[in-house]
A and B are shown apart, each in its own frame.
Chain A
């Protein structure tokens, strides 16, 4: 098991380096002039250019620049923007909001998705089944921002006013994040429901279920213990990877609901041409995503004993 973890970690490192390097190169190497537009209409003064070039190692070849940057990141130093604001602080302020949003989305999608999937997977025909199939199809097809706008319009202050949509700028409560969380997780929720449904429907006819019934175990237990424990493996592993994706994808939802998270940070970084903010945020999200996928692999080994002994 330890060797498995080690192997996965070793696989992750080149991927991490590769991804972050591409991002770095895109942000810093491609644009001709990193200082374009930074100082208003005119070109920036020599001294400014010189000072910034030193600070950001612009005179070094790209790979070296990148390595120095990564070195700093790994010690927790995300650097400062051109105007001297600590990127680390910016991230520290915005990130927790996004994490909260993503967690809320994950909880909602897990709860509703799994329940819907279990109920329809056990009994494949009927009104509920068709309802779930059709609604998941819609949720999967609707672009997130459309779902967001529509729900905000009809359930928010303008419509039925079920949800308070004025999200607190710095520290939204979980309650305020329910609607945005639902929107963020909507596509995944649909997918979780379908995945659960097909997993259960497939495993329902498995031999080990037949054995459990033949043993005379109560139906509650056959379904709740034997069937579920096997059927939920792919679902749980999906939910694990989804957390990382949700954080990356929160950009759109944050835009619709005016939430000050990572998304806003990135856009500001782009508008103000602060490349360092953009690379900082994306690098961190990539790291989180890759770590989550490692966690999921481990989770998979915990859940399924068959792959533990490779």
Chain B
């Protein structure tokens, strides 16, 4: 059974005046209908770039895809024509972004921006499009949808705006939704509401959902599987329960350890020392080795392979098996 979406060995470079940044170095993951994959990582890990490559919205130049495949229903999008890629956007795979205020066009009403999908791509009449837009706003639980459809993005509160963006992304009934840090800019309480909404929609429509985030807490509730990214690589891939119970990579371990825990009050907060590597100058061997508490010589010279830790579970560490059994 082929997955709905399959990213395979993706390599992307950014070529700038100051050098070539290797932003993605062999990224691979898959998502099925009805399941949620969380892509976790710090800024600069490449999680957004992967998403943008899937959608085909990278600025080329300076970005260049040098290797890999992105298969949607088995079809490799990277070799598809521009028109075909455009077809898939919004209809096959839709994307929502972090900051709804800047992601929505400030000079058009929310209704206009939803309706244009329906009118331009489905050929609906203005009247029908308007009715459907109101329905969609209702669906995402925006009160008084019939009036709010005529309002501008800046007139909405942060949470409402994000809901409106979600409504817009659902207009063409996509099979898959990529949510790039959808709640990072929102209050904690609103965050929970939005995550619930996403989950609900996903279940109802049996959509595949890729949730990009750096927030472990968000992930625990919603994700089925987690892919942890570091320096343009997936360094661990596991089922959510497995990951939290027994992480298979030192980086994941450190991430979990750095979460503040109420039951360990009074102890020092743990951090991961050091900074992520500069992508124009990735260290040899394992990219995490400068910050890894377990690093030894082999880590500095050899790039770790993806060790299989179980069915659909991998970790890119020389000592993956030991790390996992420690948990």
Contacts and interface: CB of A to CB of B under 8 A. Distances in A.
Contacts of A60: none
Contacts, number: 72
A211 B97 contact: yes
Contacts of B106: 208, 230, 304-306
Which of the listed residues A206, A214, A233 has the most CB atoms from chain B within 10 Å of its own CB? A214
Given A226-B105, A230-B107, A218 B155 contact: no
A208 B155 contact: no
Nearest to A211: B103
Contact of B86 (A207, A218, A304): A218
Which of the listed residues A206, A211, A213, A218 has the most CB atoms from chain B within 10 Å of its own CB? A211
Contact of A305 (B95, B99, B152): B152
A102 B277 CA distance: 59
Interface string B65-106: 000000000000000000000111111001101010011111
Given A213-B89, A215-B117, A229-B107, A208 B102 contact: yes
Contact of A215 (B89, B102, B108, B155): B89
Contacts of B108: 226, 229
Contacts of B57: 210, 213-214
A212 interface: yes
Majority secondary structure, A binding face: helix
B102 A207 contact: yes
Interface residues of A, number: 23
A205 B62 CA distance: 13
A217 interface: yes
Contact of A303 (B55, B91, B107, B168): B107
Contacts of B120: 217-218, 221
A208 B104 contact: yes
Nearest to B171: A215
Interface in A218-239: 218, 221, 226, 229-230, 233
Contacts of A211: 97, 103-105
B122 to A, nearest CB: 11
A37 B91 CA distance: 83
A309 B169 CA distance: 28
Contacts of B86: 216, 218
B205 interface: no
How many of chain B's residues touch chain A, expressed as a range?
20 to 34
A214 B59 CA distance: 12
Interface in B158-174: 168-169, 172
B154 A305 contact: yes
Given A214-B95, A218-B120, A207 B103 contact: yes
Contacts of B103: 207-208, 210-211
Contacts of B102: 206-208
Contacts of B168: 215
B97 A207 contact: yes
Given A213-B57, A213-B89, A309 B105 contact: no
Nearest to A212: B105
Contact of B90 (A207, A214, A221, A305): A214
B42 interface: no
Contacts of B99: 207
Contacts of A217: 116-117, 120-121
A101 B103 CA distance: 43
Ordered nearest first, which 10 A-B pairs have the shortest CB separation?
A216-B89, A216-B90, A207-B102, A208-B105, A305-B152, A215-B90, A207-B103, A211-B103, A214-B95, A213-B57
16 contacts: A207-B102, A208-B106, A210-B57, A211-B97, A211-B105, A212-B105, A214-B89, A215-B117, A215-B169, A216-B87, A216-B90, A218-B120, A221-B120, A229-B108, A303-B107, A304-B107
Interface of A: 205-208, 210-218, 221, 226, 229-230, 233, 303-306, 309
